[in-house]
A and B are shown apart, each in its own frame.
Chain A
Amino acid sequence: MSPTAPTLNRFGVALLAEWRKLTSTALWWVLGVGMAAYLAFMGAVLAFTFAAAPPSPDTPAITGVDAALAVLGTLNAIGYVFPLLVGTLLVTTEVRHRTLTQSLLVEPRRGVLLGAKLVVAAAVGLLYGVLGVVGLLATSAPVLELVGDGIFLTDPAVLRVLGLGILVTGLWAVLGAAFGAVVPNQVAAIVAVLAFTQFVEPIARLGLSAVDSLSGVAAFLPGAAADAVVGASLFGEISGGGGDLLPGWAGALVLLAYAAVLTVVGRWTTFARDVA
């Protein structure tokens, strides 16, 4: 009767369990489809804007591969709230629905549980990146082909922007999971994510870049760091290239550093507490 004490690869089975937890509710595909649809819509709007923009004397028209890059480079800037949310929910949903007890019964090592969540967040984030790319291409490619100069899908610069966009989407999801570990209250976490991404950071970036001595600081905000990784930014386009960005690799490191700090804080707060 006593089970032939299976010696399990604890991290491996924890990953599988996390993946099953994620995919056994509707949230992940609803958010994923939402991201693809939203990017498809924005892709169409942007492609038309660039392709059909009347030439004006002060802003030179964006044409050729530049138009394709400008559209495809928005994956991160427009879509990042989706991976951020799915990552956050990966942690907070366990607290909200009190499934954390069962999760810790099968894996009492809390670091293993949190670590598995971060890895699965990265995986689902990368998947969202691919979904976002599919959404963007689904509308912008036909529009640019028909009305503009084409989508240039085989151009190395275009491929690079898409690849980095997917990568940074994965990083956003990891950041989200780490944030969820620090703010386990689901409602508070969602409000905080939306407020930060939609209001706080955009205003902070504008505000900081307006003050000369602080303009360097703006580059270290998470959104700016993510833009740096991709090397293109809607924010940059709108404000006329405003705000200096870090080098791409440094942007990635800044995002990882945020995730690391949040993970450590979450591990020693939420994940260290009594589960009663």
Chain B
Amino acid sequence: MDAAVLAVEALGKSFGPVRAVDDLTFEVHPGRVTGFLGPNGSGKTTTLRMLLGLVRPTDGRALVGGRPYGDHPVPGALVGAALEATGFHPGRTGLGHLTAYAPQVGVDRARCREVLELVGLGPAGDRKVGGYSLGMRQRLGLATALLADPPALLLDEPANGLDPEGIVWLRGFLRHLAAEGRTVLVSSHVLAEVQHTVDDVVVIAKGRLVHASSLAELAALAGVSTYVETPDPAGLAALCAQRGWVAAPRDRGTQVDDVDAATVGAAAHAAGLELHQLTTRGADLEDVFLRLTGAAS
């Protein structure tokens, strides 16, 4: 399975004056779903293209199983990839598209039918891609990536254009693939989109690494907070000041940072403060994500 470790080492890429990727180092391991996150233009697609030998790095290297992608005997059977802005010939059927690429990953026509079924394109496979919706193209891209049943998958914003049902299916499917021991790397510019799918996160901003850890460690960064509603905001403010808690207005109440609900409740009770709502707010990952990526700019 080691063949499926993806490694990026001091990777850099300049497009003329634009530094798209800069001194980027991280690894992606089998058996886990890794989220590759960053705002628009942060260099995700460029990094994936360098991993796949489509774009030549200016500095450093990007390796698949310890070797450049192109050095593998049948690279398309080792890594399945669905990249942003990959095209389809509008005059080709979905099945025609898959059968055209099948010989070079060593699979037959029957397997092409099989992956069409798998991604929910079964009958549409005989229609021309020119008539496909965005979500159907996204599914055909996924089908292409899955063609050789590869041990590693690289998916660039795979949820774009999928309907809610499709997104739920995709989440389950990616988890299933990882549980089978595959390497799954999924890029996204929205953490919330992959929050329920990924085990690990690699966050980049402006082409540079800002964070790499398990999702749990990222969540720990967010800490806890307690949401309180009271008819006596002044009393609550006084209480927070007295205890040295950081409080800020939020929605129709107040958010108290880094304190759990039990502590706030006990203190309010002791102070005779009337509360209408008292809830522990889970880690707001999106906040952390914005903080991490915002700090880089």
Contact = CB atoms under 8 A, between A and B. Distances in A.
Interface string A1-34: 1110111101001101100110011110000000
B227 interface: no
Interface string B95-109: 011011111111000
B103 A20 contact: yes
Contacts of B74: 3, 5-8
Interface stretch (A95-103, A174-182, A196-204, A249-257): A95-103
Interface in A207-225: none
- Interface extent on B, as a size class? 35 or more
B123 interface: no
A106 B86 contact: no
A7 B73 CA distance: 7
Contact of A2 (B3, B46, B91): B3
B104 A17 contact: yes
Contacts of B97: 24
Nearest to B128: A25
A101 B105 contact: no
B54 A99 contact: no
Interface in B77-115: 77, 81, 83, 85-93, 96-97, 99-106
A238 interface: no
Given A17-B101, A97-B90, A275-B55, A24 B96 contact: yes
Contact of B73 (A5, A14, A103): A5
B88 A97 contact: yes
A3 B106 contact: yes
Contact of A24 (B81, B99, B103, B151): B99
A97 B89 contact: yes
A105 B147 CA distance: 12
Contacts of A276: 15, 45-46, 49, 54-55
Given A2-B1, A7-B73, A106 B55 contact: no
Given A8-B74, A20-B99, A25 B55 contact: no
B32 interface: no
B91 A104 contact: no
Chain A interface size, as a band, is 20 to 34
Interface string B39-59: 000000110010011111000
Contacts of B144: 102
A149 interface: no
Contact of B87 (A8, A98, A104): A98
Interface string A105-119: 111110000000000
Interface string B139-178: 0000010001111000000000000000000000000000
Given A20-B103, A105-B52, A274-B55, 10 more contacts: A20-B96, A20-B99, A21-B100, A24-B97, A99-B87, A101-B54, A102-B144, A107-B104, A108-B69, A274-B54
Interface of A: 1-3, 5-8, 10, 13-14, 16-17, 20-21, 24-27, 93, 97-99, 101-109, 274-276
Q: A-B pairs with the 8 shortest C-beta distances?
A: A98-B87, A108-B70, A6-B106, A24-B96, A106-B104, A106-B76, A13-B103, A25-B91
18 contacts: A1-B149, A1-B181, A3-B77, A3-B150, A5-B74, A7-B74, A8-B106, A17-B104, A20-B96, A20-B103, A24-B96, A101-B83, A101-B87, A104-B53, A108-B70, A274-B56, A275-B54, A276-B46
